[in-house]
Amino acid sequence: MAVGKFGTLINCIDGRSLIPIVTWLKEKYNLDFIDTVTEPGVDKIIAQKDSEKTAQIKTKVLISIRAHGSSLIAIAGHHDCAGNPVSKNEHIEQIKKSIDTIKSWNYQTKIVGIWVNEHWQVENVNSSEISLSD
């Protein structure tokens, strides 16, 4: 097992959101490293639970969990997303649906929803705190 505490971020490819999210996650959840899985407009993808792309992302997340013992999965959407150009409200709904999708994977990690606003600041959409000891 790798040394250090890992989290896993499912994020858009857009580089503007990456550093704010990684910094926020490391500080808020006391993590050392954040593994990343990226696709353009990924909140739209994961909101669709049974798609092939979602299955591919699930497989990538599992590598982070198995190899690094990641204790947290974050799903993020952001302002001005070229891959998913919908309103903020639609993004928030997709992020909530994405949280439900990730819950259905039963990976026993914390699950955190993230919205990155027009100031490139992180907002917590919703989180489920699944105890690791259960």
Interface contacts to Zn ion, rule CB under 5 A = 12, 14, 81, 83
Q: Which two tokens stand for residue 6?
A: 């890992």
If one counts every other C-beta atom within 10 angstroms of the C-beta of residue 46, the result is 26
**Least gap, CB of 50 to Zn ion (angstroms):** 22
C-alpha 32, offset from chain centre: 16
**Least gap, CB of 60 to Zn ion (angstroms):** 18
Q: Which of 14/35 has CB closer to Zn ion?
A: 14
Collect all residues with Cβ–Cβ distance below 8 Å to 3 and sequence separation of at least 6: none
**Least gap, CB of 47 to Zn ion (angstroms):** 14
DSSP H helices, 30-131, are: 42-46, 52-68, 88-104
Collect all residues with Cβ–Cβ distance below 8 Å to 2 and sequence separation of at least 6: 33, 67, 68, 69
Q: Which of 65/81 has CB closer to Zn ion?
A: 81
**Least gap, CB of 90 to Zn ion (angstroms):** 13
Q: Which two tokens stand for residue 99?
A: 């949280």
Q: Which of 45/65 has CB closer to Zn ion?
A: 45
Q: Which of 24/115 has CB closer to Zn ion?
A: 115
C-alpha 86, offset from chain centre: 18
